[in-house]
Structure 1
Amino acid sequence: MNFDSIKPQHSPVNRQVREEVWSLSETLVRDLRGEALTFIALIFEMYQRVAVLLQILLLLRRGAHSEKEECLKTIVNSCADCIRSGPFCMWCKQPNFTKTGEPDATRCDTWSLLAEKGCLESNIISPKSHHIPVEDRPLSKATPSQQPVQLRPQEVKLALRPGLPYTFQFNFKRAEDYPVDLYYLMDLSYSMKDDLLKVKRLGRDLWTALGKTTSRARIGFGAFVDKTVLPFTDTNQKKLKKPCPEEEQYCQPPFGYRHVLNLTDKYDLFNEMVASQHISGNLDPPEGSLDAIMQAAVCGDKIGWGNSTRLLVLTTDAGFHMAGDGKLGSILLPNDCECHLDENLMYSKSNKLDYPSVGQVARKLAENNIQPIFAVTSNMEQIYRKLKEIIPKSEVGVLSDDSSNVVTLIENAYKSLSSNVIVTHEALPQHVTVTYTSNCANGHQPSPQGTCDNVGLDKEVEFNVTVTAKQCIDETSFLIGALGFTEKMKVSLTTQCNCECDEPKNASHPGCNGHGQIVCGMCSCNAGYLGQRCECHVGDKDESHLRAACQKDNGTECSGLGECVCGVCQCHTSEDGKTIYGKYCECDDKSCEVHHNKLCGGHGKCDCGTCKCDQGYQGSACQCEKSTKSCTPTNASQVCYGRGDCLCNMCQCKEGYKPPFCKECPGCPSPCAAAASCIECLGFQTGPLSKNCSESCSHIQHKMVDKLMKRHTSKKHCKERDVENCWMVFTMEEQDGFNSYMAEIQTERECPEPPNVARIIGGAFMGVALVGIIILAIIKAIIYMRDRKEYKKFLKEQQKSRWKNANPLFSAATTTVQNPFFSGE
């Protein structure tokens, strides 16, 4: 679109038509800009509400979790590691607290669990959060010699336990006669011509209005139009010199932003400098307001902002360009939020840097404690009210057509701003959160900012500041203060992540076998010694012997669940949270029977695979309450007749005894044979136990009877021989308990008649003789049979020696040799 063709000051021939077209275009652009800004504001509002909702849910979740204190340990080798593991992790420094082989990580747990394991309260270490006021001057009014004190304390030191919120108090009171700096920032586009004429006579009125609140007021002045590039400004050389209509006598070239007057307490100088200003012009309705606000905020040394309440009054009848609009003029570099005023106090990077975003402007205003007052025309009111929702500590007022009400507008806006106290923080470190509550009607709920409305002069308000460090961090600091006031409280922050155990230094503590000192309950061994109790001296044994000491039955070293350190197993903590312990790391605290999905039924502790039940509970899984009602027969003196245990109100019998009361033992051997020696010594004072009968047979009570009665069902009828080969007749009745009997012994034994010696001797002699004769007969028969056999053999050989013919094997000699010396004799 060719803006030159529709700007009202061109070609008077079609002036009326062009004015109507321009008016229509201006209205359309304003509507579109207004809708866009409204849409952005709605999105931001939705974002804020979602953020608040998420924060509330997070607080509720934290509250739910806080009901159950847990210590989620990871790797814990020292007290410091324990404290860093979580806000509810505590350390037991009690010596000998751990079991054999149990890792020192067992010392780290919640207070209740450590106390349950036997750690005394005085031995439980848990650093507490606290704060120390470093500077705490009382609140005071301003005096000619010093500035007022509006907040206390002025500096504190916090020492926080990570993960636990800590709250301290912060007080604020508005002081009377507090200095006020007001910087008047005016739109000098052509549509503000009438307003400029009014502002040129504004100095005295502004001074009078501010004087109602403070005697130390200063005012300054700045002006803006827009970037001097298309499509924001006509770049025709003639128009760059005079963008106003031809009939306008006084018109200055367009510019982005110019600082005109430093903050001063001379209102006549204000009138003089403002009177020298002239109107200017540009093409499109939105102006470079945000560019001007940014430079006025960040160029504090050139503007002259002091230690005061800082007000920035923006007067305009148009909307504003914001981040991204600069691309229309080929300006691609984003705004850097830095001061760029040249020697002539002109914004030198106006045509090089894009407009700032609303968020950037809001942040810089807050950082520099500047409270903006948007004095705008009625058609722009809604747009700037949406902007007010994004920028905290800001106000919007509606200007009259010629800005005649601007003083009243500023006065009312200042009263509203100064009575609205918003406490927030600056330079907050990572992993630290801060929330506020107050004693005001609208400040009971924790929020990222503390708010109090309608706070009058000399009215003290109290804020509760809750600080949480999410993890251990190095020493750092941040600032807390009320928006719009330069006074800040410095908060120095450290985290409590180490332990101070305060044990006496002893180089030969007996708990460390005299070779180390106790540090937070653990042994710190002297040079050359190792082990959990400094029990190993390096070089005493070779490695194979030390490793063998960590193996149970030549099995896996430390059961594969620990590390062999100098012949002693140092057990690990398993990934599923089990506590491993034992000489060979063979035990843990989770491998016990489960009842109703609870370890040891929830009524006991797991100790190396066995449930140790709480008082009043019993069972392998502590699943039932103690009771012996169904385990005690009416005629028994002991539970389960003393031959079993009453578990879960039922007899658990031993050694073959039968329930329900363990009275009978069908599979047990008869007591008769085992009791024979005792019966003999008790009833007849004979036998192998007669010398110590009372001691050896104390488990049998007895009584002598003349004649045993008929068999009783509960009695065992016995008949055993004694050393005299007599039959002892007695009964055995088992009493309550194991191996306890009542015996009834028959007085008369059944002994056999004595033997006939003569018959025995005679019979023996006849037997021997008969046996001898039989043996001789047998020997005679054997000899006779052998002789017959030899004789038959002889006869047979004799027959073989008689040959019927010549011997076929014989051959006659073929040569005869005669000995010449043989005489034949």
Structure 2
Amino acid sequence: FKYWFYWTKHTSCSNICTSRGGSTCKQCLTVHPSCAWCFQEGVAGVSRCDLKSNLLDAGCAVNALEFPTSKLQVKEDRPLSDKAARDTADATQIRPQRLHITLRPDDSKRFTVKVRQVEDYPVDLYYLMDLSYSMNDDLYRLRTLGKGLAQEMGRTTSNLRMGFGAFVDKPLSPYMYISPKEALLNPCYGINTTCLPQFGYKHVLSLTEEVGRFTEEVKKQIVSRNRDAPEGGFDAIIQAAVCNEKIGWRQGASHLLIFTTDAKTHVALDGRLAGIVQPNDGKCHLNSENMYSMSTVLDYPSLALITEKMSENNINLIFAVTSSVVPLYQNYSELIPGTAVGTLSNDSGNVIQLILNAYAKIRSVIDMETQGVPEELSLSFNATCLNGEVIPGIKSCSGLKIGDTVSFSVEARARGCPKEKRKTFVIKPVGFKDSLTVTVTFECECKCQAAAQPNSPVCNHGNGTYECGICLCHPGRLGPRCECAEGDYGATERDHCTAPSARGPRGAWGAEAAVCSGRGDCVCGQCVCHSSDFGKVWGKLCECDDFNCLRYKGELCAGHGVCDCGFCQCDSDWRGDNCNCSRRTDTCMSSLGLLCSGRGQCVCGACECTQPGAYGANCDKCPTCPDACTMKKECVECKHFKRGKLFEENSCTRICRDEIQLVNDLEFHDKNAVNCTYKDEDDCVERFQYYEDASGKSILFVVKEPDCPKGPDILVVLLSVAGAILFLGLASLLIWKLLVTIHDRREFAKFEEERARAKWDTVGGHIHSLVDTHARCSINLILNVSYNFTLTTRIATHGGNIYKDL
């Protein structure tokens, strides 16, 4: 009984290979990457589909095992370049370049992709301009654009080419003026001026290094006029992107498409207003005059089509639009990878700086995209940007400089077996020509299948195909060797159709015995599973199906996986017992690029705010947080004062969704409102209040006039300096007088002391001295003391006589 319990526990529960019921070699490979198949003849009493170690222990020879493993081979791995040469074919910005992966079903392989934007990379810049009448003053500005733009772009690249194209709208009613007749040739007839007939799109100048030609062609342009407010710019974008030969896009260059307008644009299905129902085909339709010939036949393109063509042709789109339509094009930019939006002044006076800022913004971001990934393969990305931190679920890095290198860890997992054994897909940065080509071989077949013997005598005189050590019986035949017909039935064979847990210790049937799990018939000792309206039933004992798994919100495996024998096999971006937990973290990124704004954790694709007071989808709302003032300060600087980091990066609209209200002083709005102060670059104290209303709307009340320090009073300064000088002078005189007085007193005291010591020793008026009678001495004594008192004494001695003169 103990042995039976051990076998039941470890064979039916712990061992996924035997519990999933892989009855053929091909099925065995799809159960789990750890499963192996033994095709050795004469194996009986054990499952041919089992763990490799178990099969070897059971006596299966190594050369009789089918156990393919997933492999990864690097086919091309050139090092990254530092700087682009004149011949850009030699510049390498992605590494490796070619990979080959062999994958078993449900197995995965991980590889790393490195990306670097090289210096001095060639740039192709195509300027696509709205020539409707409202852009007349902008056209005047553009006539002087070429030289200045070339000079500024020359700081980034030494290999620049420029081209020009123009658009208005489809020359059909209701988009154009058709009455009076004169308006057909001169749409400006009604405003007493002359302009060009309306056109959809015309290509004016192919990409060229001659800046002078750009200026000459622009000077020749004349505006036109359309009837409705939106323009037909999306038609022009598609034609400029796909007409490579006409435009002259180079394969080894960065492609910039500058789209300038002051109005909204028509999108797909708007063509029905003019009776146009044929969808845009995304192909080039420029005639011999470089005019868009299908403008009145094809509908406007969709955003999805624009995204596809931008990616196919490695084009970065820059929307240079006026402030009134910036929010609309900002939404377009979020849907089209590799695009940027800049606010164009009313006369396009800032267009050069706008282009430079947008190009710098595009070059500061590396966003990976995939092309041609088969449905049976799932990819997951982890990004390692400049700080070295691995960010799971992210395939982009921002804040980069030219020459920076970033890496992405990519996991490729086989989710099934396609009809074609080999598939190829591409991984590349948005807007780059460089790409990584990955070839995947799905290892879903067993090598022993090639040696299959149809109508083999081993299978009961040809009643089946002998393949990989087992008989695959013809229809109507059953049994290990196809020895039974479907009509045969014997009670003694039921033992093979019941799980060991339903039998007694001697093989007797228990009261709860269920033949073929109650979902099939036992025929010749094998279970023939019933069909089900809910899905597929399979397994040695009909124990598996694809519909009895956990559900979430009424959907099997939450709609993010497949049900396999009672277990949810989740897609690569999902996990959990019912696949309701997302692995992605990009949904938790705040507008500042911080995970949950740095105030929480990303759990199942949603932020769980951990900092007290934080709330919102990305924990971005937190008036009481210590950093609330710091974060909102940048928005005040950008939106109100038009300065600061966000303003320079042109990301104010994207990051700062707050409403700015100017007030004379800060008032009480709510107990959760926070008053903030900071010093600006002029050392002025700016004050504002951060407030979230009941609907979650963020409002910043900014005091109109900052508190700036007053300038110094010149008169006070002069008087202070003069007073200080006078005071120092008087103090110096007093100190000098004091020192002189002290010195005089010391000298006088010394004099008095010396005078008191000056005494003469006299005896009877004579000075006795013993001297040699032959000696003569002459002593001159001069004493100089203060007040010019001099005492001179001469003593002469001669023959014993002494003379004294005073």
Q: TM-score, normalised by structure 1?
A: 0.52
Is 1:144–2:86 an aligned residue pair?
yes
SS at match of 2:272: helix
Q: Which residue identity does 1:139 align to in structure 2?
A: L
* Alpha carbons 1:228, 1:235 under 8 Å: kept: no
* Alpha carbons 1:438, 1:450 under 8 Å: kept: yes
* Alpha carbons 1:578, 1:589 under 8 Å: kept: no
- CA distance 1:69–1:480, change in 2 (3 Å): farther
Is 1:305–2:252 an aligned residue pair?
no
SS at match of 2:16: coil
* Alpha carbons 1:256, 1:291 under 8 Å: kept: yes
Once the two structures are superposed, what CA deviation does each residue of 1:433-476 show, in whole Å capped at 9, x if it has no partner?
A: 222111126984554x6101122222211111111222223212
Corresponding residue of 2:36: 90
Is 1:484–2:425 an aligned residue pair?
no
The separation in 1 between residues aligned to 2:440 and 2:187, in whole angstroms, is 57
Shift of 1:166: 1.8
Once the two structures are superposed, what CA deviation does each residue of 1:108-146 show, in whole Å capped at 9, x if it has no partner?
A: 135687689787999764322111111111112322344
- CA distance 1:349–1:574, change in 2 (3 Å): farther
Q: Which residue identity does 1:480 align to in structure 2?
A: I
Q: Which runs of 5+ in 1 are unaligned?
A: 1-66, 505-510, 513-518, 537-545, 563-572, 592-825
Is 1:208–2:151 an aligned residue pair?
yes
Aligned with 1:159 (options 102, 123, 128)? 102
- CA distance 1:463–1:561, change in 2 (3 Å): same
The separation in 2 between residues aligned to 1:547 and 1:521, in whole angstroms, is 20
Shift of 1:396: 0.7
**1:570-581 mapped onto 2 (5 Å cutoff):** 576=517
Is 1:133–2:74 an aligned residue pair?
yes
- Largest Rg, 1 or 2: 1
The separation in 1 between residues aligned to 2:426 and 2:271, in whole angstroms, is 35
Aligned with 1:461 (options 398, 406, 411)? 406
**1:360-375 mapped onto 2 (5 Å cutoff):** 360-375=305-320
* Alpha carbons 2:516, 2:541 under 8 Å: kept: no
Is 1:194–2:137 an aligned residue pair?
yes
Aligned with 2:161 (options 199, 215, 218)? 218
The separation in 1 between residues aligned to 2:436 and 2:321, in whole angstroms, is 35
- CA distance 1:576–1:243, change in 2 (3 Å): same
Once the two structures are superposed, what CA deviation does each residue of 1:238-283 show, in whole Å capped at 9, x if it has no partner?
A: 1121112567655211101111111111110111111111011011
- CA distance 1:222–1:123, change in 2 (3 Å): same
* Alpha carbons 1:226, 1:287 under 8 Å: kept: yes
SS at match of 2:188: coil
SS at match of 2:381: strand
Shift of 1:288: 0.4
- CA distance 1:373–1:578, change in 2 (3 Å): same
Higher-strand-fraction structure: 2
- CA distance 1:521–1:360, change in 2 (3 Å): closer
Q: Which runs of 5+ in 2 are unaligned?
A: 1-12, 452-457, 460-465, 498-513, 528-538, 543-806
* Alpha carbons 2:363, 2:402 under 8 Å: kept: no
**1:373-772 mapped onto 2 (5 Å cutoff):** 373-440=318-385, 444-447=390-393, 450-473=395-418, 474=420, 475-499=422-446, 522=469, 576=517
* Alpha carbons 1:288, 1:355 under 8 Å: kept: yes
Corresponding residue of 2:757: none
The separation in 1 between residues aligned to 2:217 and 2:102, in whole angstroms, is 53
* Alpha carbons 1:442, 1:452 under 8 Å: kept: no
Q: TM-score, normalised by structure 2?
A: 0.54
* Alpha carbons 2:365, 2:397 under 8 Å: kept: yes
Corresponding residue of 2:213: 269
Q: Which residue identity does 1:431 align to in structure 2?
A: E
Q: Which residue identity does 2:340 align to in structure 1?
A: E
Corresponding residue of 1:286: 230
The separation in 2 between residues aligned to 1:480 and 1:180, in whole angstroms, is 22
Shift of 1:579: 14
The separation in 2 between residues aligned to 1:151 and 1:253, in whole angstroms, is 47
Deviates more, 1:248-257 or 1:270-279: 248-257
Corresponding residue of 1:326: 271
* Alpha carbons 1:523, 1:532 under 8 Å: kept: no
The separation in 2 between residues aligned to 1:388 and 1:362, in whole angstroms, is 10
Is 1:232–2:180 an aligned residue pair?
no
- CA distance 1:371–1:110, change in 2 (3 Å): same
SS at match of 1:397: strand
Once the two structures are superposed, what CA deviation does each residue of 1:342-372 show, in whole Å capped at 9, x if it has no partner?
A: 1111111111111111222122112211111
SS at match of 2:165: strand
Corresponding residue of 1:107: 48
The separation in 2 between residues aligned to 1:70 and 1:76, in whole angstroms, is 10
Once the two structures are superposed, what CA deviation does each residue of 1:7-53 show, in whole Å capped at 9, x if it has no partner?
A: xxxxxxxxxxxxxxxxxxxxxxxxxxxxxxxxxxxxxxxxxxxxxxx
The separation in 2 between residues aligned to 1:72 and 1:330, in whole angstroms, is 63
Q: Percent identity?
A: 38
The separation in 1 between residues aligned to 2:14 and 2:227, in whole angstroms, is 66
The separation in 1 between residues aligned to 2:378 and 2:525, in whole angstroms, is 46
Once the two structures are superposed, what CA deviation does each residue of 1:475-494 show, in whole Å capped at 9, x if it has no partner?
A: 12111110001112111111
